[in-house]
């Protein structure tokens, strides 16, 4: 696998599939652009390795290769897309013929250049890509994680630890006449602990990673922290009481609880839903949609983060897009199609799961900058409420703005003090309303450890979130204690 990271994407596809830039330009120019407003050819080669430990030994190992090409023609609001996993000039030309069929009946005004900002970044070139690391070192790490979880607490009965590494090479030939490639590493260490006590069982999960090398997990013994966190969560939940039910003050801890932003506002500010007018935020540009303490930014340019990209999957360099500034809606996340139709700038948010899908507006790393409050003060300000520090997944209904996210580690707050842990519960609210009720923002911004995967219309992409400690007045907590 070593050749992947060492070659430029342009020469990778030329060497392997005889697809030179000039041939790609021929597919684009001759077949697609004559009839379309915009078009592109996307080539992808992906290798993936997973090692999994359970019962104290690494018994599962797998390696996967996937490759393919997608050809897209855009005309007005229409998209023609064809993909194949057999990359050859003949198949690309056939795909181009299928993709452009959609544009045949539409009138065309030639290619509409969508302005994009800047040049591609260099955010994650690694000295040692994940596949070059010796397998023995990876197996050793998983065994050490197993030992650390079990040593953390005698109530741990099972440990499942997995280490995944991926490398994706892409090459995008765009209608604006330039060809741009990217090599994207992605690694992740995930630790699950099952704990048992007196017939009660619980699960704790922790992990992280990013566009980083294997050594990332060794720095400051990060792996040991992940192991201890998984064990701590599992054991803690053994004594959790029923979560409260009803509307109350909620304090979110820093880091991963930033999933609130992803669900409550992020999706609602993706260009497609706003162009179509189906988002609860549609038509509210320039209006106040949140408390003035709230600023929300999507930034695809943070080095080595899971959600970062040098260029998006349409060849547009990623950027830092302010979505909400001091409570006022100021920006959307755009791909080329929606930027063109809305007369806006493509923000580098056009992403796809793989060659098998056309791109659409997606988030990268979405976070709220730090405020001024002491996190301890924020908790002290709550008479009765919930303090939630870790979450499972979340979901949003774009159209009515209702979002949920499920706490996996949470506590009661009573008279300004964090007291007993409560069982997992889903929190539910309305995006704009919940943002308007943010009354305190801590100075402790943290980005998550690198675990997020976002799903939209059947496509999954890696993302990041970040949040300082915040207080939300009145959010509905879906527990069972009435």
| Chain residues 101-120 in contact with another protein, contact rule CB under 8 A | 101-102
Q: What tokens appear for 119 in the block?
A: 């040049």
Q: What tokens appear for 14 in the block?
A: 């030329």
Q: By CB under 8 A, which span of 74-82, 112-120, 209-217, 375-383 interacts with another protein?
A: 74-82
Q: x/- string (CB under 8 A) for another protein, residues 303-342?
A: ----------------------------------------
Whole-angstrom Cα distance, residue 471 to residue 428?
15
Q: How far is the CB of 273 from another protein (least distance, A)?
A: 9
Of positions 125, 287, 399, 419, contacts another protein by CB under 8 A: 399
Number of Cβ within 10 Å of residue 294's Cβ equals 23
Under the criterion CB under 8 A, does residue 60 sit at the interface with another protein?
yes
Under the criterion CB under 8 A, does residue 66 sit at the interface with another protein?
yes
Of positions 12, 28, 41, 68, contacts another protein by CB under 8 A: 68
Q: Is the dihedral of CA 429, 281, 439, 442 positive or negative?
A: positive
Residues facing residue 188 across a β-bridge: 164, 209
Under the criterion CB under 8 A, does residue 423 sit at the interface with another protein?
yes
Of positions 295, 406, 436, 469, contacts another protein by CB under 8 A: 406
Of positions 3, 6, 34, 86, contacts another protein by CB under 8 A: 86
**Contact predicate 366/465, CB 8 Å:** yes
The residue among 195 and 302 lying less far from another protein, judged by its C-beta, is: 195
Of positions 24, 28, 58, 289, contacts another protein by CB under 8 A: 58
- 238 CB burial (10 A radius; 0-12, 13-18, 19+): middle
Question: SS in 3 state form for 171-219?
Answer: EEEECCCCEEEEEEEEEEEEEEEEEEECCEEEEEEEEEEECCCHHHHCH
Under the criterion CB under 8 A, does residue 34 sit at the interface with another protein?
no
Q: How far is the CB of 98 from another protein (least distance, A)?
A: 4
Under the criterion CB under 8 A, does residue 31 sit at the interface with another protein?
no
Q: How far is the CB of 160 from another protein (least distance, A)?
A: 7
E runs forming strands in 330-451:
350-351, 360-361, 365-367, 384-396, 402-414, 417-422, 425-430, 438-441, 446-447
- Pick from 357, 325, 368, 350: nearest CA to 469: 368
Q: Which SS3 state, helix, strand or coil, does residue 274 take?
A: helix
**Contact predicate 179/171, CB 8 Å:** yes
Under the criterion CB under 8 A, does residue 419 sit at the interface with another protein?
no
- Where in 201-220 is the site for another protein (CB under 8 A)? 201-203
Under the criterion CB under 8 A, does residue 392 sit at the interface with another protein?
yes
Whole-angstrom Cα distance, residue 204 to residue 229?
8
The residue among 96 and 123 lying less far from another protein, judged by its C-beta, is: 96
Under the criterion CB under 8 A, does residue 147 sit at the interface with another protein?
no
Of positions 34, 113, 135, 241, contacts another protein by CB under 8 A: 135
Of positions 34, 61, 113, 420, contacts another protein by CB under 8 A: 61
- Pick from 401, 402, 413, 422: nearest CA to 273: 401
Residues facing residue 166 across a β-bridge: 48, 186
- Where in 267-306 is the site for another protein (CB under 8 A)? 276-278, 280
Per rule CB under 8 A, count of chain residues that contact another protein: 79
The owner of tokens 């924020």 is 378
Q: By CB under 8 A, which span of 108-116, 224-232, 325-333, 474-482 interacts with another protein?
A: 474-482
Q: How far is the CB of 450 from another protein (least distance, A)?
A: 19
The residue among 344 and 481 lying less far from another protein, judged by its C-beta, is: 481
Under the criterion CB under 8 A, does residue 420 sit at the interface with another protein?
no
- Pick from 367, 328, 377: nearest CA to 445: 367
Of positions 32, 35, 37, 67, contacts another protein by CB under 8 A: 67
Of positions 10, 21, 50, 325, contacts another protein by CB under 8 A: 50
- Where in 179-198 is the site for another protein (CB under 8 A)? 194, 196
* Residue 132 to residues 66, 108, 196, 205, 320, Cα–Cα distance (Å): 19, 48, 39, 28, 32
**Contact predicate 77/341, CB 8 Å:** yes
Under the criterion CB under 8 A, does residue 18 sit at the interface with another protein?
no
Of positions 394, 450, 462, 468, contacts another protein by CB under 8 A: 394
The residue among 210 and 401 lying less far from another protein, judged by its C-beta, is: 401
Q: How far is the CB of 383 from another protein (least distance, A)?
A: 18
Q: By CB under 8 A, which span of 291-299, 324-332, 391-399, 439-447 interacts with another protein?
A: 391-399
Of positions 160, 191, 302, 382, contacts another protein by CB under 8 A: 160
Under the criterion CB under 8 A, does residue 59 sit at the interface with another protein?
yes
Under the criterion CB under 8 A, does residue 82 sit at the interface with another protein?
yes
Q: What tokens appear for 460 in the block?
A: 């999954």
- Where in 431-460 is the site for another protein (CB under 8 A)? none
Q: How many helices (H) and strands (E) does the chain have?
A: 11, 22
Whole-angstrom Cα distance, residue 411 to residue 417?
10
Under the criterion CB under 8 A, does residue 358 sit at the interface with another protein?
yes
- 110 CB burial (10 A radius; 0-12, 13-18, 19+): exposed
DSSP string, 72-124: EEEETTEEEEEEESS--HHHHHHHHHHHHGGGTTS------PPP--S------
Whole-angstrom Cα distance, residue 437 to residue 458?
32
């Amino acid at each position: 696998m070593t050749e992947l990271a060492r070659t430029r994407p342009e020469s990778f596809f030329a060497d392997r599939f005889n697809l030179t830039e000039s041939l790609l330009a021929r597919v684009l120019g001759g077949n697609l652009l004559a009839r379309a407003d915009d078009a592109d050819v996307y080539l992808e080669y992906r290798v993936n390795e997973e090692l999994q430990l359970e019962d104290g030994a690494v018994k599962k190992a797998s390696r996967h290769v996937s490759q393919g090409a997608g050809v897209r023609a855009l005309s007005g609001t229409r998209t023609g897309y064809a993909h194949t996993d057999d990359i050859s000039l003949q198949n690309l030309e056939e795909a181009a013929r299928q993709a452009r069929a959609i544009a045949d009946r539409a009138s065309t005004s030639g290619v509409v250049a969508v302005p994009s900002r800047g040049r591609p970044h260099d955010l994650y070139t690694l000295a040692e890509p994940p596949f070059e690391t010796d397998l023995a070192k990876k197996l050793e790490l998983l065994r050490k994680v197993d030992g650390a979880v079990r040593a953390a607490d005698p109530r741990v009965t099972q440990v499942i630890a997995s280490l995944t590494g991926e490398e994706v090479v892409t090459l995008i030939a765009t209608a604006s006449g330039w060809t741009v490639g990217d090599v994207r590493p992605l690694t992740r260490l995930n630790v699950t602990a099952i704990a048992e006590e007196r017939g009660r069982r619980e699960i704790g999960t922790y992990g992280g990673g990013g566009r980083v090398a294997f050594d990332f997990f060794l720095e400051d013994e990060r792996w040991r922290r992940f192991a201890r966190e998984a064990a701590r969560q599992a054991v803690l939940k053994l004594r959790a009481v029923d979560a409260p039910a009803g509307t109350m003050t909620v304090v979110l801890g820093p880091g991963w609880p930033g999933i609130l932003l992803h669900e409550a506002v992020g999706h609602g500010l993706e260009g497609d839903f706003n162009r179509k007018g189906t988002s609860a935020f549609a038509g509210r540009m320039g209006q106040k949609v949140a408390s003035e303490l709230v600023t929300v930014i999507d930034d695809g340019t943070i080095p080595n983060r899971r959600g970062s990209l040098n260029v998006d999957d349409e060849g547009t360099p990623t950027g830092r897009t302010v979505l909400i500034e001091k409570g006022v809606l100021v920006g959307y996340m755009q791909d080329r199609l929606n930027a063109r139709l809305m007369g806006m700038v493509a923000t580098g948010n056009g992403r796809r799961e793989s060659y098998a899908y056309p791109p659409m507006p997606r988030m990268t790393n979405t976070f709220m900058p730090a405020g001024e409050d002491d996190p301890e003060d924020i908790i002290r300000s709550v008479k009765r409420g919930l303090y939630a520090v870790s979450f499972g997944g979340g979901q949003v209904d774009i159209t009515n703005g209702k979002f949920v996210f499920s706490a996996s580690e949470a506590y009661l707050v009573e008279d300004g003090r964090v007291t007993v842990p409560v069982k997992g519960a889903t929190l539910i609210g309305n995006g704009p309303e919940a943002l308007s009720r943010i009354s305190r923002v801590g100075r402790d911004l943290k980005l998550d450890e690198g675990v997020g995967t976002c799903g939209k219309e059947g496509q999954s992409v890696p993302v990041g979130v970040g949040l300082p400690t915040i207080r939300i007045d009145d959010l509905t907590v879906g527990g069972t204690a009435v």
